[in-house]
Structure 1
Amino acid sequence: MTQSRFSPKFVAGIMVALFFGIALYLRIFLPYDQIFSADWIKLVGTDSYYHMRIIDNLVHNFPRLNSIDPYMLYPSGMPIGSFSFFDYLLAGIIWLVGLGSPTQHTVDMVGVYFPAVLGTLSIIPVYFIGKVLFNRWVGVLAAGLITLSPGEFLARSILGRADHHCAEVLFTTIAMLFLILAVKIARERQLNLDHLKHRDWGIITKPLIYSLLAGIFLGLYLLTWLGALLFVFIIFLYLIIQFIIDHVKQKSTDYLCLVGTVTFLIALIVFAPLFQQKVYLTSLIIALLTPIVLSTVSRLITSQKLKPAYYPLSLMGLGLAGLAILYFISPSLLSSMLERFSVIMPVGARLTILEAEPFLFPGGDFSFLIAWLNFATGFFLSFVSLGILIYFVIKQGEADRTLFIVWSLVILAATLSMRRFAYYFAINVALLTGYFSWLVLQFAGFKETAAEPVQIPEKMKKKTKQKKSRKGGFNLTGSRANM
């Protein structure tokens, strides 16, 4: 059998490009006649008209925005809410396309195409997350699955849906890609504070750059949607879990401190100058200080040669003490911070909104209908895949995959609570189903060459005994070398 003349990298690139074209076709050409009708350009959804009205105002006064929207609560008008990066991004692109003086036709045309392009762009970080976590072909499978994903994700990134949801998905997926890369490389290079002290740029540079990029996109996400503290919570929760895992296993936690601190610091720098609500700034500052505190406590317990089990107990005590201090300083601030969880746990009148319905209880009755319409079999396969991943992470302790699991579980919980979050969970379902599909292909005999390990400088290498691999039979493994 002759060897293929095309490299796997080339084939994967062609397939992702093909998926990109298919995704654009699904989002643009299929609904085209419904958006462009005679001399009119129609938008999808009420919120799209709201955003396009703000964008139209921005374009003609760029970069200034009127403080009052006269059409809200007519006839008295209503103050325009918080800064939205989505509106400014789209308005800025329109302003550039129109060379500083765009026509109304230019505003409308760019506005209706923009969400479809953003939704399609999400394919690229999905591919790279699959590649980084597992291997190239899992990335390709995940990219193909997100291309064909129906339901909320498609509906919120379609032609004419000029709303910020498509930007939310893109920014969070890119942020998580860079964070996964930062964690993976920092851990494999055994990054610690001594490297920072001695300015060992050969080891520091890549994790630092990826952390910076993760922070930038996290900051942009925070400027895009008022409920963006959701992903701050995901990263915050992951850091606590991974710190505990590493400390209990008596591994260095310095890499987590550096990655977490840089990510939250950059996000705060991006966010703070444009949005100064106390609850958001306080949450980000707490998130920023958390990896520093966790690392300090870990070092203290290690230096005192105390049992590793004291670490989670110490963190629990510090957490309760922190809540008590915050309560005494500002009970209203603590209450406002806790109320942010209502974004994913609606109660009362909010449950009458269609998108706020529980995912498995539409109309109050248990049903898999919404799950099927959004993900088809992927919804069920993702649970199997998640179980396999959790097993391997417990067994092998890979920090980057732990991040993916925490991300998936929190978004799953949010989706089960409120069906609108299905457009976030579509990314996780694509990756989880892609991973499961690869395991099936691997079981059927499809093989992939071992993934190249991260290059570690010679002085960081340690002599280890090589273990002989078992011959014969199928060995289901979560390690990248067998992927």
Structure 2
Amino acid sequence: MSGETAEATALQVDDVYAFVERYGHLVLVGLLMVFMLWVRLLNYGVFRRDDGSVTFTAIDSWYHWRATDWMVENYPRSMPFEVYTGFPTGNYVGQFGTLFDHIVVTVAMVIGLGDPSQSDVQMAALIVVPILAVLVAIPVYLIAKKVAGGSRVAGLVAVIFLALSPGEFLRRSTAGQFQHHVAEVLFMAVALLAIIVALRVAEREKPIWELVEAREWEPLKEPATYSALAGVALCLYLWTWPPAVMFVAILGVFFAVHLCIEFLRGVSPDHVAFVGVISMVVPTLFMLVMLDVFTFTSETSFGLLQPTVSALVAIGCLFMAWLAREWDARDIERTYYPGAIVGIALGGLLVLWVAVPDLYSTLVGNFTSRIMPIGPSETGLTVQEVQPPDEFVARATREFGMGLYLFIIGLVLLVARPVMGERFRAEHTLVVVWSLFLLSMAMTQVRFWYYFVLPIAIVSGYTIGVAVDLIDVRLTDRVSDVGAYQVLAIVLVLTVLFVPFAPMVNDVNAINVGEQAGPSHDSILWEDANEFMAENTPEPGNLYGAGHDDELDYYERYSYPDDGNFEYPEGAYGVMSWWDYGHLITTQAERIPHSNPFQQHARSSSAYLQAPDEATANGVLDLIATGEDPRLDDTGGLTQEPPESVEGGDQMPYVMIDYKMVGSKFGAISQWTGPDPEVYSSPKPIDIGIEDQEETFVAANDEFYDTQVASLYLEDADGMENYRLVHETDRFAMVAGVATQQGGVPFWGTDLGIGWDEAAQHEPVIDQHRDEGMLYGGEYYEPHLASAVKTFERVEGATLDGQFDGIDVENATVEASLELETEPGRTFVYTQQAEIADDGGFSVTVPYATEETLGPEDGFTESTVTANGSYQVIVQDGETFYSSEVDVPEPAIYDGDEITVSDFEEIDFDDLIDDGADNATDENGDAGGDDDENGDADNGGENGDGNDADGADTNDE
């Protein structure tokens, strides 16, 4: 090789090294961001349906779809008040329709060139969350780099942890996760970075009070600008998620701690206070502009809480800086200053407790339930994402590999910087305080693990950055210049970083999580039931032909009512179900649920579903109509007397129940009001199918089967006067007890994912094992087969009146029965019994019609459950039977009409059996069918396990 050629080659190699030196870290960060986006879009296609619709993961995603869909029609305005949820009051939905939804709609506007189609909005809803997740890498890189004194390795390692972590952050940022969680993470990281930059600038420029007094604005301009920008970043975060006020409170703790540190170091804390005051004044003013509700009690609303807390932090910074000056002027020992601050802070809380108790209770309540694992509520714990993690270290290892240990080491190194002779800056205090709070939050609630990835990544990056500095190796070092010990150290670092996330080592890895992303089971399961509601029930405002449906447009803008309670027009109505499904009813059915995943009206829904009889359940609805929040006492009775008559008591005509509500969610339902959840189950000997051996398992008891939710779902409203089944999905589930070593789980259920044709083949086996013992080789007991989702309607009921003379009235009974068939093809028999009066008269109230003549356009329901013939009314006098048939027109069940039954004919008991009437009565005069040993009818049923409410995201999540 000639000298010129060698020199040219050397120059080319130097150019490569120069490029790597200058841009290599950015290229690697860019590649990691591309990987993050690819992983999150792996299953994009499964959320786009063949019919052109879209579906989502997690229930809260559906309400963001509602907010976004509404905003497209009303752009750029957001929904101030929602009338399509929370009947009969409506609801302010503060944390929805916020900056996150504005971003999605704006992206849809760009895709659709100003006039987005439904498909454009759907695409935006699926891609915005993954894109926001990718953007988180930018502030994470910059924060880690700044905290590590400019180390690019620290920033790069932080992004590696962010990109490879298969935990909550990834799960909540895949396509289909249409929720604001990732936007929260992004804007928290941006706000944290902005505060760090402002502190750096203030530390350099040293703004002090004397400059303000002298009005020397030039040296104040730069720190004021960066502090104001930090305030703007906080505004974006608060606009995305109003409960971000907790981050403002964390910053308040940071400012208090670092102001004390600076003062103890003999440094004027004015520059830190300067940043604190300006950065907090901006969100104070912004949140006053955003103010929607004048209350301190809701952190999820744009209320008084956010501007008040921001103002308190600003005032606190100003006060601490003033006190430091007074402290010096009076020559008081500086070591007493932090104690004085703590005492003054406690005194301030005492003042708040006396003067503004609502603010005090909200602050303390959120601190104990969100930030510190010391005060979770029993009802709050029914939400899966609000529960604390079972095994903190094991979960952290799954999500972050060695990240938890690097995080702990990094915190120790940060705190020890002064001991090691390194400069301890404001950003170090900020990261330590912030990390400790997020650690506590992660220990408090599972949902905050999507936040926890930030301090894990940043502090772990700092730790590796320190280690690389000790190794003294740079990315641009030539191979020949690297020693053996450095190579071993590098291999060790790479092993710590990458091996725990490798697919061949860990089944739970980023690619695996991305591939498994899919629509929520509930959203698919409820589609058919909600489609029925949308097409077969009257429009809100037209119930019973009221004709006010034009007053409740789905896309109309409704102002926030003065008292928070919307005045619905005549003909509006609500749908009773458990709160988990409220958003699905709103968006898929465009009907108005009573309760929703905001947990609005959860207690009254619990009271209704747990009601021990039909009368109590109707009393709950009557109390709701009068504006009360009904509750049950320890015996299942109402804590207040329902009104004898109430206007609008029939404005909750529909009840929707799925297999989980009598299964895995029943425990959550029973937490809100009424008897102790343990009341609904009892030990019971079960034949395990091995040589007639029995084992004792906890099983559902009579108290459970008597509840309204079980009576409707398991018995198809058999024996009820005011409820009829109007629809069931052609997808069937099994509910049963599950055998465990601890004695069994009585409330459990599984979606079989099969239609009635296939489910009917399982029905005889399930019926056989309901009373006789274990099913499927000794795993399930007391099984029931039922449609996955059933819809019922509350009606007045038609009364069958008759007169029967010449019989022994003391021993005589009358029973009406009707065979019905559902749309999937399942048949069942409704029966109703009554006693005969002394004069031989009788009255039997029944809810089913024998002929369908009314429909949604008339203001009524087009039921998909039809009668196979007429009612058979049987009078039993000892061993003598008399029978008559009667038809019930549909208007009669709505108007409460009386229908005369006559022309009885004596029949033989054998004729009853031959005609199939054994389902109506047996030789003892009891309700027919194969009753179990508790006397419960066997035409349906389910049990479940635990309290599995979502949720959130619930979402969610």
Q: Distance between the aligned counterparts of 2:418 and 2:222, measured in 1?
A: 24
Matching of residues 25-424 of structure 1 within 5 Å: 25-28=38-41, 30-38=42-50, 39-69=52-82, 71-73=84-86, 76=88, 78-82=90-94, 84-134=98-148, 135-197=151-213, 203-276=219-292, 277-341=303-367, 342-344=369-371, 345=373, 346-359=376-389, 361=390, 366=391, 368-393=393-418, 396-424=423-451
Matching of residues 471-482 of structure 1 within 5 Å: none
Q: Distance between the aligned counterparts of 1:208 and 1:9, measured in 2?
A: 31
Q: State the SS of the aligned residue for 1:412.
A: helix
Q: Distance between the aligned counterparts of 1:433 and 1:383, measured in 2?
A: 8
> How many pairs does the alignment contain?
444
Q: Distance between the aligned counterparts of 2:311 and 2:328, measured in 1?
A: 26
Distance 1:199 1:393, change over 3 A: farther
Asked if 2 retains the 8 angstrom alpha-carbon contact of 1:72 and 1:78, the reply is yes
**Structure 1 residue 62, shift from structure 2 partner:** 1.4
Question: Deviation string for 1:181-235 (max 9, x for gaps)?
Answer: 1112312333323344556666434432321221111112112223212211111
Q: Distance between the aligned counterparts of 1:43 and 1:343, measured in 2?
A: 27
Residue 442 of structure 1, aligned match among 463, 466, 469: 469
Q: What letter is aligned with 1:162? A: F
**Structure 1 residue 77, shift from structure 2 partner:** 7.4
**Structure 1 residue 317, shift from structure 2 partner:** 3.1
Question: Deviation string for 1:353-386 (max 9, x for gaps)?
Answer: 2212213x2xxxx463322232122122211111
Stretches of structure 2 lacking an aligned partner (at least 5 in a row):
1-9, 293-302, 477-485, 487-957
Deviates more, 1:417-426 or 1:168-177: 417-426
Asked if 1 retains the 8 angstrom alpha-carbon contact of 2:187 and 2:233, the reply is yes
Question: Deviation string for 1:229-255 (max 9, x for gaps)?
Answer: 221111100011011111111111010
Asked if 2 retains the 8 angstrom alpha-carbon contact of 1:191 and 1:204, the reply is yes
Q: What letter is aligned with 2:269? A: T
Deviates more, 1:245-254 or 1:198-207: 198-207
Distance 1:262 1:115, change over 3 A: same
- Determine which structure has the larger helix proportion and give its number: 1
Q: State the SS of the aligned residue for 1:244.
A: helix
Deviates more, 1:286-295 or 1:369-378: 369-378
Q: What letter is aligned with 1:31? A: N
Q: Distance between the aligned counterparts of 1:394 and 1:404, measured in 2?
A: 18
Q: State the SS of the aligned residue for 1:227.
A: helix
Deviates more, 1:372-381 or 1:176-185: 372-381
Q: Distance between the aligned counterparts of 1:66 and 1:187, measured in 2?
A: 43
Distance 1:79 1:357, change over 3 A: closer
Asked if 2 retains the 8 angstrom alpha-carbon contact of 1:55 and 1:90, the reply is yes
TM normalised by structure 1 equals 0.85
Q: What letter is aligned with 1:168? A: E
Asked if 2 retains the 8 angstrom alpha-carbon contact of 1:374 and 1:422, the reply is no
Q: Distance between the aligned counterparts of 1:367 and 1:233, measured in 2?
A: 25
Q: Distance between the aligned counterparts of 2:118 and 2:261, measured in 1?
A: 56
Distance 1:372 1:313, change over 3 A: closer
Question: Deviation string for 1:246-287 (max 9, x for gaps)?
Answer: 111111101011100111011112222113522333222211
Q: What letter is aligned with 1:375? A: F
Distance 1:283 1:5, change over 3 A: closer
Q: Distance between the aligned counterparts of 1:399 and 1:165, measured in 2?
A: 28
Q: Distance between the aligned counterparts of 1:77 and 1:202, measured in 2?
A: 54
Hey, which bits of structure 1, 4+ residues long, moved more than 6 A?
Answer: none
Asked if 2 retains the 8 angstrom alpha-carbon contact of 1:82 and 1:275, the reply is no
Distance 1:17 1:198, change over 3 A: farther
Q: State the SS of the aligned residue for 1:87.
A: helix
Asked if 1 retains the 8 angstrom alpha-carbon contact of 2:270 and 2:321, the reply is yes
**Structure 1 residue 448, shift from structure 2 partner:** 8.4
**Structure 1 residue 436, shift from structure 2 partner:** 1.8
Residue 432 of structure 1, aligned match among 459, 462, 465: 459
Asked if 2 retains the 8 angstrom alpha-carbon contact of 1:223 and 1:275, the reply is no
Q: State the SS of the aligned residue for 1:45.
A: coil
Q: Distance between the aligned counterparts of 1:217 and 1:325, measured in 2?
A: 31
Q: Distance between the aligned counterparts of 1:77 and 1:98, measured in 2?
A: 36
Q: What letter is aligned with 1:219? A: C
Distance 1:87 1:80, change over 3 A: farther
Q: Distance between the aligned counterparts of 1:110 and 1:213, measured in 2?
A: 28
TM normalised by structure 2 equals 0.44
Q: Distance between the aligned counterparts of 1:112 and 1:385, measured in 2?
A: 36
Q: What letter is aligned with 2:341? A: L
Deviates more, 1:207-216 or 1:422-431: 207-216
RMSD over equivalenced CA pairs, Å: 2.5
Asked if 2 retains the 8 angstrom alpha-carbon contact of 1:67 and 1:79, the reply is no
Q: State the SS of the aligned residue for 2:174.
A: coil
**Structure 1 residue 97, shift from structure 2 partner:** 3.8
Deviates more, 1:382-391 or 1:255-264: 382-391
Q: Distance between the aligned counterparts of 1:264 and 1:9, measured in 2?
A: 37
Stretches of structure 1 lacking an aligned partner (at least 5 in a row):
450-473, 475-483
**Structure 1 residue 390, shift from structure 2 partner:** 1.3
Asked if 2 retains the 8 angstrom alpha-carbon contact of 1:153 and 1:426, the reply is yes
